[in-house]
């Protein structure tokens, strides 16, 4: 997707915002003027007693009310537009590099037992999760974190997501609309309390109260009309008002148990209703999006949420004590509410969890579509069912490196080990991370930044960012040993693996490193593994194995006008150059 699209859309939205601001100012002045004119008319009517002036005051009051409502709609429109602008700004931030400031990093998903997440920058600051995440709800964020797994869980789901994401990439305005509307939800909105509140068995109204809820207010209305026409006295309406108030008070605990959880949710329910409506009204082509939409339509999600939101609005008004007393004294409003919420729970509560799960999955798809929306070159991986390891990529780059700076590389690997040598800063570590992180994106169902990626199910194990742990008494070398040990333990399952080791056993002396590295590489070379090992130790280029091929690949540097240059392209064969002494001289450490 071209950067110009997002820039042009943002400029259009900013112009529309300026127009809404001007209209809002005009409405504010009209509202204020109408209010004072209404006060003047009431004062004049009180002074003169003229019916015509009273009618003018009533007309002005109606105009003031209409202006209030119009201003409220304008405020909501402006709020959504601001969210739309923010969504566009977030896409542009991925071009400019400002995405590093996104507040949602996924750091909470980092776990000691999953070091691949740290090694491949899956979660945390400056991570793939931070770059991709468009999810606003906790359920959506959790599901996205589950999708970004180093283990291929469900290739069928990944393929479904690929088609859905491909359709979303072709419809950027739909992506923007959904992302902007969802951004109005509270940050990290947890839907579990909402589900618990609406699916639990609240106390149902007593039998027969539905009849009372309609008959008594109707009787009161007739009594008031009769008293106004002097057909009966005002005692009867007063008795009925008192009776209704006592009934509402007596049943208050039961009705409050149903209303209390909804009172705090009225705004969120309106937002979910808007999201469900947008999804129900859209026309989709991909099977996964059609299936998600069908789940919403089958249960009437948008319509049901609209009704529930209306009930939540009523529950919210109970904070107004005067309204609460009058509404119950004249209309038994709480009793009506209790019956309506019980009816809603009976018809729709069982479907609510499924509807919210649909939105969580939609948030995953919106997040994964980011790759195709901000990259000129991307491809949807071909996911093979082969039992033997297979990994082929062409012009692959790392998602977190700006596209104009990223240097593409290839790989065409089957079972075996690749020893990757190269001088400092030549691109070995970036290459390892690029390959492994692209596999994670592929298993999630996302496109990858590159021209082609074809791979079989590979369980990814890494040893890249290995550090000591003073709190647990672990040296860097022993931490590396534990990583290699976990790889050897998993290989006993005879499942295909992608093993990525950067600077193997860098935490110990060269003699022990060579002995340990030879043994580890020998054990991690086999028919079920694609093993990539980077090293500065050229002696490891001599390793051979009967279990599977061991080949040599390298990165190299060149010198021009006494300057050190890198092309960051992987090449076949072993490295023949070194640059450590040159770098030491550049730093002034060596003469």
Whether 448 and 579 map to the same domain: the answer is yes
394 and 424 inside one domain: yes
Task: Return the pLDDT at 162.
Answer: 98
Contact 381, 451 (CB under 8 A): no
More confident residue, 510 or 34: 34
Q: Is residue 104 part of a domain?
A: no
CA 352 – CA 299 distance, rounded (Å):
9
Q: Are residues 486 and 551 in the same domain?
A: yes
Confidence band of 98 (pLDDT split at 50, 70, 90):
very high
Q: What torsion, rounded to 10 degrees, do the Cα atoms 169, 174, 178, 181 define?
A: 140
Nearest to 368 by CA among 581, 128, 199: 128
Write down which residue in 331, 351, 374 finishes a domain. 374
Residue environment code for 347-359, b if the CB has 16+ CB neighbours within 10 A, otherwise e: ebbebbbebbbbb
Question: What is the pLDDT averaged over residues 47-55?
Answer: 79
Domain boundary residue among 335, 358, 374?
374
CA 420, CA 555: separation in Å to the nearest integer?
A: 8
What CATH number is associated with residue 537? 3.40.50.300
Same-domain check for residues 154 and 53: no
Between 51-96 and 172-182, two packed helices, what is the crossing angle to 10 degrees?
Answer: 120
pLDDT at 308: 85
- pLDDT tops 80 at residue 471: no
pLDDT at 507: 77
CA nearest neighbour of 496 among 469, 463, 457, 523: 457
Query: Which percentage of the chain shows pLDDT scores above 70?
Result: 87
CA 437 to CA 419: how far, in whole Å? 19
Distance CA 65, CA 422 (A): 75
Pair (154, 294) in one structural domain: yes
Confidence at residue 228, expressed as pLDDT on a 0 to 100 scale: 72
Using the predicted structure, report yes or no on whether residue 250 has a pLDDT greater than 70. Answer: no
Q: Does pLDDT of 586 surpass 60?
A: no
Q: How many CA atoms lie within 13 A of 571 on its CB side?
A: 14
Q: How many domains does the chain have?
A: 4
Q: How far apart are CA 93 and CA 82, in angstroms?
A: 16
Which whole-number Å values give the CA distances from 180 to 13, 274, 276, 380, 460, in the listed order?
12, 11, 14, 26, 35
- State the pLDDT at residue 46: 80
For 86, residues 6+ apart whose C-beta sits below 8 A from its C-beta are: 180, 183
- Cα distances from 393 to residues 50, 159, 187, in angstroms, run 87, 18, 37
Q: Which two tokens stand for residue 23?
A: 């209209």
Which residues face 411 on adjacent strands?
Answer: 393
Rounded mean pLDDT, 486-509: 92
Residue 100 lies in a domain: no
The verdict on 328 and 281 lying in the same domain is: yes
Q: Is 522 left (phi over 0), alpha (psi -120 to 50) or beta?
A: alpha
In the chain, helix, strand, coil percent, each to 5?
A: 60, 10, 30
Angle at 296 between CA 294 and CA 300, to 5 degrees: 115
Higher pLDDT, 477 or 580: 477
DSSP 8-state code for residue 233:
-
Residues with Cβ within 8 Å of residue 118, at least 6 apart in sequence: 110, 124, 465
Question: SS3 letters for 244-275?
Answer: HHHHHHHCHHHHHHHHHHHHCCHHHHHHHHHH
Q: What is the mean pLDDT of residues 338-365?
A: 86
Which of the two residues, 118 and 470, has the higher pLDDT score? 118
Predicted local distance difference test score (pLDDT) of residue 329: 63
Q: What is the pLDDT of residue 382?
A: 97
Which pLDDT belongs to residue 469?
A: 76
User: Is 170 found in the same domain as 25?
Assistant: no
Contacts for 147 with CB less than 8 Å, ≥ 6 apart? 161, 364, 368, 443, 444, 445
The residue among 374, 405, 440 that closes a domain is 374
Three-state secondary structure call for residue 392: strand
Query: What's the pLDDT band for 197 if we cut at 50, 70, 90?
Result: confident
Q: Nearest to residue 437, comparing CAs of 128, 114, 112?
A: 128
* Residues 201 and 211 placed together within one structural domain of the fold: no
pLDDT of residue 341: 76
Span 474-486, average pLDDT: 90
Number of helices followed by number of strands (H, E) in the chain: 21, 12
Q: Two tokens at 276? A: 């469900």
Domain check: are 83 and 11 in the same one? yes
* Band of residue 438 on the pLDDT scale cut at 50, 70, 90: very high
61 pLDDT band (50/70/90 cuts)?
confident
CB proximity list for 327: less than 8 A, separation 6 or greater:
317, 333, 334
Stronger pLDDT, 387 or 498, i.e. the higher one = 498
Residue 130 has pLDDT above 80, yes or no: yes
Edge-first strand listing for the sheet containing 390-396? 382-383, 452-455, 390-396, 409-414
The residue assigned the tokens 């509560």 is: 349
Q: Taking a C-beta distance cutoff of 8 angstroms, is the pair 84, 13 a contact?
A: yes
- Residues 548 and 526 sit within 8 Å (Cβ to Cβ): yes
* Residues shown for the chain: 591
475-508 in b/e form (b: 16+ CB < 10 A) is eebbbbbebbeebeeebeeebbbbbbbbbbbbbb
**145 within a domain of the structure (yes/no):** yes
Q: Which of 80, 292, 269 is nearest to 168 (CA)?
A: 292
Q: What is the pLDDT at residue 338?
A: 72
Q: What is the bridge-based pairing of β-strands 571-572 and 550-554? A: antiparallel
Question: Quick one: pLDDT at residue 11?
Answer: 94
Q: How far apart are CA 52 and CA 105, in angstroms?
A: 65
pLDDT band at residue 195, thresholds of 50, 70 and 90?
Answer: confident
Lowest mean pLDDT across 146-150, 187-191, 338-342, 460-464: 338-342
Could you give the count of Cα atoms lying within 13 Å of 228 in the half-sphere of its Cβ? 6
Torsion of CA 567, 569, 574, 575, to 10 degrees: 20
Confidence of residue 184 (pLDDT cuts 50, 70, 90): very high
Whether residues 230 and 135 fall in one domain? no
Does residue 100 surpass a pLDDT of 90? yes
Q: Is the pLDDT of residue 320 over 60?
A: no
CATH code, 266? 1.10.1420
What mean pLDDT value characterizes the chain?
86
Q: What is the DSSP letter of 101?
A: G
pTM of the model: 0.86
pLDDT of residue 238: 78
Q: Say whether pLDDT at 39 is over 90.
A: no
Containing structural domain, residue 309 = 126-205+254-374
Q: Is the per-residue pLDDT at 321 higher than 60?
A: no
Domain assignment present for residue 107? The answer is no
pLDDT of residue 584: 53
Say whether both 539 and 457 belong to one domain: yes
Higher pLDDT, 39 or 313: 39
More confident residue, 438 or 213: 438
Residues 296-312: what's their mean pLDDT?
87
Residue 579: is its pLDDT beyond 70? no
Tell me, what's the pLDDT at 270? 87
User: Does the pLDDT at position 583 exceed 60?
Assistant: no
Tokens matching residue 72: 């409220």
For CA atoms 248, 253, 257, 260, the dihedral sign is positive
Predicted local confidence at residue 556, as pLDDT? 85
Kindly state the average pLDDT of the residues 97-126.
95
Q: Does 14 or 48 have the greater pLDDT score?
A: 14
114 in a structural domain: no
Same domain, 452 and 360: no
Q: Greater confidence, 448 or 257?
A: 448
Produce one character per residue of 272-295: b if its CB has 16 or more CB atoms within 10 Å, e if not: bbbbbbbbeeeebebebbeebbeb
Most confident segment among 23-27, 196-200, 420-424: 23-27
Instruction: Tell whether the model's pLDDT for residue 377 goes beyond 90.
Output: yes
- Is 117 part of a structural domain of the chain? no
Q: Tell me: pLDDT of 484 over 60.
A: yes
Of residues 513 and 6, the one with the higher pLDDT is: 6
509 near 472, Cβ under 8 Å? no
Mean pLDDT of 531-540: 90
Determine the average pLDDT of the residues in 56-81. Answer: 88
pLDDT at 414 over 70: yes
Q: What's the gap between Cα 201 and its chain centre?
A: 31
Most confident of 229-238, 298-307, 421-430, 455-464: 455-464
The tokens for 563 are 């300057």
Instruction: Give mean pLDDT, residues 37-60.
Output: 83
pLDDT at 109 over 80: yes
């Amino acid at each position: 997707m071209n950067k110009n699209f997002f820039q042009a859309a943002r400029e259009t939205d900013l112009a529309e915002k300026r127009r809404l601001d001007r209209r809002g100012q005009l409405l504010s002045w009209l509202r204020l003027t109408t209010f004072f004119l209404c006060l003047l008319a009431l004062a004049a009517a009180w002074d003169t007693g003229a019916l015509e002036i009273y009618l003018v005051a009533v007309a002005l009051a109606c105009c003031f009310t209409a202006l209030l409502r119009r201003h409220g709609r304008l405020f909501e429109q402006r709020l959504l537009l601001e969210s739309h602008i923010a969504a566009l700004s977030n896409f542009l931030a991925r071009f400019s590099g400002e995405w590093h400031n996104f507040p949602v990093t996924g750091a909470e998903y980092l776990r000691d037992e999953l070091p691949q997440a740290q090694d491949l920058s899956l979660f945390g600051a400056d991570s793939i999760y931070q770059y991709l995440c468009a999810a606003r709800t906790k359920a959506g964020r959790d599901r996205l974190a589950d999708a970004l797994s180093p283990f291929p869980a469900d290739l069928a789901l990944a393929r479904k997501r690929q088609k859905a994401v491909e359709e979303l990439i072709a419809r950027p305005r739909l992506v923007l609309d959904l992302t902007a509307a969802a951004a109005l939800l509270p940050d990290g909105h947890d839907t579990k309390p909402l589900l618990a509140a609406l699916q639990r068995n609240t106390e149902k109204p007593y039998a027969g109260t539905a009849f009372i809820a309609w008959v008594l207010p109707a009787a009161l209305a007739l009594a008031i009309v009769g008293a106004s026409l002097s057909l009966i006295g005002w005692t009867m309406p007063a008795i009925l008002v008192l009776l209704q108030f006592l009934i509402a008070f007596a049943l208050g605990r039961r009705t409050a148990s149903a209303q209390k959880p909804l009172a705090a949710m009225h705004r969120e329910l309106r937002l979910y209703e808007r999201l469900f409506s947008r999804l129900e009204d859209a026309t989709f082509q991909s099977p996964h999006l059609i299936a998600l939409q069908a789940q919403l339509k089958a249960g009437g999600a948008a319509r049901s949420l609209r009704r529930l939101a209306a009930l939540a609005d009523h529950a919210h008004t109970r904070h107004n004590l005067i309204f609460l007393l009058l509404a119950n004294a004249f209309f038994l409003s709480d009793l009506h509410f209790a019956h309506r919420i019980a009816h809603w729970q009976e018809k729709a509560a069982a479907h609510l969890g499924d509807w919210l799960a649909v939105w969580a999955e939609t948030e995953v798809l919106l997040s994964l579509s980011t790759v195709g929306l901000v990259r000129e070159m991307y491809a949807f991986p071909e996911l093979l069912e082969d039992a033997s390891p297979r990994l082929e990529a062409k012009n692959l780059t790392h998602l977190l490196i700006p596209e104009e700076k990223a240097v593409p590389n290839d790989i065409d690997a089957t079972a075996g080990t690749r020893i990757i040598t190269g001088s400092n800063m030549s691109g070995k570590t970036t290459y390892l991370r690029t390959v492994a992180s692209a596999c994670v994106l592929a298993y999630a169902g996302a496109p990858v930044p590159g021209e082609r990626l074809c791979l079989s199910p590979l369980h990814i194990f890494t040893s890249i960012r290995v550090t000591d742990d003073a709190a647990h008494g672990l040296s860097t070398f022993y931490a590396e040993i534990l990583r290699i040990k976990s790889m050897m333990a998993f290989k006993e399952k005879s499942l295909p693996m992608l093993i990525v080791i950067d600077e193997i056993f860098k935490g110990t002396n060269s003699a022990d490193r060579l002995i340990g590295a030879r043994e580890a590489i020998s054990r991690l070379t086999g028919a079920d593994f694609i093993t990539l090992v980077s090293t500065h130790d050229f002696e490891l280029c001599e390793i051979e194995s009967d279990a599977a091929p061991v080949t040599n690949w390298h990165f190299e540097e060149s010198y021009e006008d006494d300057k050190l240059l890198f092309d960051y392209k992987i090449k076949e064969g072993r490295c023949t150059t070194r640059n450590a002494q040159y770098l030491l001289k550049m730093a002034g450490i060596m003469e």
